[in-house]
Structure 1
Amino acid sequence: MPIHLEVFHPDRIAVAVARGDISLEDYRKFLMEIVAAGILHYRKMIDVTSATSSAVGRDELLAFEAQLSAGSQAQNRPRGPLAIVTDRKRGELAATFKEMSSKDRPVEVFRTIREARQWLLAQPVRQPPAKVS
């Protein structure tokens, strides 16, 4: 899979690395993996510096974001902070994503994994809603 996800449950952090060409289907599968794992509230970092090209543009990215936002609100689930690590070629898309998606959670764009990790670890861990028995 072009987007590899590692989840660190004790720290409630998920780290994704995108490599090579990323299709809309790859991105959709990645998002569904996050939803299925029940980690929307985790702190997340996605590194896209090794992605060579992507079929995911501004409109597609914002459509996926709107779906996730609506789904998290419908399920009363908070969404955790997101750090995006990108290079200058994809920085504009990441900045647009940040601007459009940071209403219900912190989103920041970084040039290095180190900076992203420091910021992410400083963010509070969001708790999922308590389950009613």
Structure 2
Amino acid sequence: FEKTKDGGTTWTEVNGDPFDQNMGVAEGLLFFTNDFGFAGLTYASEDFSMLYVTKDGGETFERLELPLDTVTELPSEAAELGFTIEDYDYHTMPQIVDGKMEIYLQTDAMEQQGIIFQSEDNGVTWEYAGCKE
């Protein structure tokens, strides 16, 4: 992971292994401030992804763990397709919706339905917030 302070003329390595030796394809890189951001890692099949969070400008990243044990309902398709909570292992990149940060867990990158997690404290804590149908 590298960053620039001069519009891309020069680059400095900040972290040589942000994904902690996990291999895959970068799903995205999104910073909300100079220090706070997310990096997504997926595989070619796009049926699984992981999110990593940094609070120090990318010097360190930690894998994001969402509170799956708080999920009380799965999307409507889950019952008809036999999905369980374990099948929802594709993390979308975070976005701001109505002033809250949201991440969706889906069965793959192309899925429209999913499980919603929200944070009101810039990703410090996450809460289950229902389903996206």
> What's the TM-score, normalizing by structure 1?
0.28
If asked which structure has higher relative contact order (CA below 8 Å, sep 6+), I would say 1
Greater Cα radius of gyration, structure 1 or 2: 2
The structure whose residues are more often strand, as a share, is 2
Question: Relative to total residues, which structure has the larger helix share, 1 or 2?
Answer: 1
